[in-house]
Amino acid sequence: MSTPSIAIRRTTELDWRQVRALRLEMLADTPLAFGETVEAAGQLDENVWRERARRGESSVGIALAAISTDKSGAECWVGTMGGYRDPSVGSMLVGVYVSPGFRGTAAGVTDLLLSGIEDWARAAGDVLTLHVHTENARAVAAYERRGYRATGRLFPYILNPHQREMEMKKTL
């Protein structure tokens, strides 16, 4: 079996079906990592998905997709990350997801996506901030491996205010 190649690119409005499919996958796979439920996302109409897909074309934000292409040329969306500029903290990393079969350092998808977001953030400043659920140990470890450090700030998790998200930052 051959190893698929991975391409990283910004999303466009025409990608709305793939953006939707990957978002529904991520919400079902890791619900505590996001501020939206799979049920709520499943009710959104095409116009909302087109708008979300256009985030990759934004001048103030970014949405990246990791697309696997196998030997036959078949494509499969296997990961995504996004970012936006927040006036109070600068560049924020959001919407992080990699499909289970493409996780880990050997696959390299997380590193490819995160490098793209860090390059985008570097154009506007020297710090990238993120919020991660305190119970998402796998994500915390991945961020720490890439040089992100907890700031000590905690925030209520939007879907359950009894749970917490922690802030992490990296100087770029």
pLDDT tens figures, 53-67:
999 999 899 999 999
Query: Are 53 and 85 spatial neighbours (Cβ–Cβ below 8 Å)?
Result: no
pLDDT tens profile 85-128: 998 889 999 999 999 999 999 999 999 999 999 999 999 999 99
For 6, phi and psi rounded to 5 degrees?
Answer: -120, 125
- Whether residue 121 contacts residue 100, with contact meaning beta carbons closer than 8 Å, is answered with no
Nearest to 89 by CA among 133, 144, 127, 132: 127
* Dihedral angle over CA of 137, 93, 86, 21, nearest 10: -110
Tell me the pTM.
0.94
User: Looking at beta carbons, which pairs linking 68-73 to residues 24 or more positions away fall under 8 Å?
Assistant: 68/4, 68/5, 68/6, 68/102, 69/4, 69/5, 69/6, 69/7, 70/2, 70/4, 71/2, 71/4
3-state secondary structure of 155: strand
Write the single-letter amino acid at 49. Answer: W
The secondary structure of the chain in percent helix, strand, coil, rounded to multiples of 5, reads 35, 35, 25
